[in-house]
Amino acid sequence: MFEAVESSFLVPFDGTFSIKKVSTKHKGKVPSKKQYHKNLTKLIEKMSDYQRTLYAHDHHAILLIFQAMDAAGKDSTIRAVTSGINPAGCQVFSFKQPSSRELEHDFLWRTTRCLPERGRIGIFNRSYYEEVLVVRVHPEYLQSQRLSEPYNLKSIWKERFESIREHEQHLARNGTVILKFWLNVSKKEQKRRFLSRIEVPEKNWKFSSGDIKERGYWNEYMGAYEQAVNATSRPWAPWYAIPADHKPFMRLAVAEILVKTFERLGLRYPKLNKSEQAELEQMRLLLEQESAYSRF
């Protein structure tokens, strides 16, 4: 079942991905609330076990990248899939408009500083992909980046794709397992969620008029997403286009892909060599002797 989820949402590596051909809606039966919680709990338990082994094994880091239009559910998906994970082994970073300090550096600098170390899971809520998405839709943002002039608007995105591919390949070669999720919400569902943010007082804080402005560039964003995921979905850093109109389905799909990836890694607890085992044996004897003479 997991393989089916993985392969049906995987963005092919040959540049043939078309947004028009993928659905924002789940396929098949929607799980009941009870079934959803049961399935998610099982997946989370597995992830929690795998995370412990990841930490002990200490050879790989996991990097999860989430990109999406506003209100697609990045936050709640991240919350759901990390809910059972030891917080000490997992860090979430959100990337918003770059600060003036960040703008002093190349576009991969600010995320590189936040990459997970071996044994850890790092989650990027938005990422360097914004540099070929929002910046592509609003090329005037390039002016604040003080690039060496004159830059060529025809070639800059291709150059950035190349930099991203090489960056990710470098990370993968050095033990970082990269998974990228594009949460594919429909324009209609986004409208429904925005309206709910306006109508429900507890959700008012989530509403931002800027989101409505960006919604006006929907087609430009879809064009930018299509090109970006086509140019950067590779075996060492695959993209998954996850239908996002039904949140529980989306969260289960992401969790299943994570579990499947962990399974494939073949993580194991480190094995002790003979002298280390002998040392453990000595320590056991010491502890046992201590209890024999202890007053407590």
184 vs 138, 187, 252, CA distance in Å? 21, 10, 14
Question: Using the rule CB under 5 A, is 70 a contact of Mg ion?
Answer: yes
**Contact between residue 66 and residue 125 where contact means Cβ atoms under 8 Å apart:** yes
254 vs 8, 43, 80, 251, CA distance in Å? 12, 10, 10, 5
- x-or-dash string of contact with ligand ATP, 161-200, rule CB under 6 A: ----------------------------------------
Distance CA 107, CA 160 (A): 9
Considering only 135, 177, 231, 259, the residue that binds ligand ATP (CB under 6 A) is 135
Q: Which residue has the tokens 């429909």?
A: 186
Q: 153: which residues sit within 8 A by CB, 6+ positions away?
A: 139
Considering only 92, 114, 115, 134, the residue that binds ligand ATP (CB under 6 A) is 134
Distance CA 41, CA 37 (A): 6
Considering only 21, 27, 29, 96, the residue that binds ligand ATP (CB under 6 A) is 96
Distance CA 230, CA 167 (A): 16
Beta strands in 76-204 (DSSP E): 90-94, 121-125, 176-184
Considering only 24, 67, 70, 207, the residue that binds ligand ATP (CB under 6 A) is 70
Considering only 5, 50, 130, 160, the residue that binds ligand ATP (CB under 6 A) is 130
Question: Using the rule CB under 6 A, is 97 a contact of ligand ATP?
Answer: yes
* Partner that binds at residue 141, options ligand ATP, Mg ion, none, CB closer than 5 to 8 Å by kind: ligand ATP
Question: Using the rule CB under 6 A, is 98 a contact of ligand ATP?
Answer: yes
Select from 58-66, 77-85, 91-99, 239-247 the region that touches ligand ATP (CB under 6 A).
Answer: 91-99
DSSP states of 183-224: EE--HHHHHHHHHHHHHSGGGGGG--HHHHHHHTTHHHHHHH
* Partner that binds at residue 130, options ligand ATP, Mg ion, none, CB closer than 5 to 8 Å by kind: ligand ATP
Question: Using the rule CB under 6 A, is 213 a contact of ligand ATP?
Answer: no
Question: Using the rule CB under 6 A, is 126 a contact of ligand ATP?
Answer: yes
Distance CA 180, CA 66 (A): 6
Minimal CA–CA distance to 232: which of 182, 186, 175? 182
Please report how close the Cβ of residue 110 comes to ligand ATP at its closest, in angstroms: 8
Question: Using the rule CB under 6 A, is 208 a contact of ligand ATP?
Answer: yes
Q: Annotate 81-109 with b (16+ C-beta within 10 A) or e (fewer).
A: bbebbeeebbbbbebeebeeebeeeebbe
Restricting to residues 106-125, name those near ligand ATP by CB under 6 A. Answer: 125
Query: Measured from the CB atom, is 67 or 261 closer to ligand ATP?
Result: 67
* Partner that binds at residue 98, options ligand ATP, Mg ion, none, CB closer than 5 to 8 Å by kind: ligand ATP
What distance lies between CA 295 and its chain's CA centroid? 53
Query: Measured from the CB atom, is 71 or 179 closer to ligand ATP?
Result: 71
Q: Binding residues for ligand ATP, per CB under 6 A?
A: 70, 75, 94-98, 125-126, 130-131, 134-135, 141, 208
Q: Binding residues for Mg ion, per CB under 5 A?
A: 70
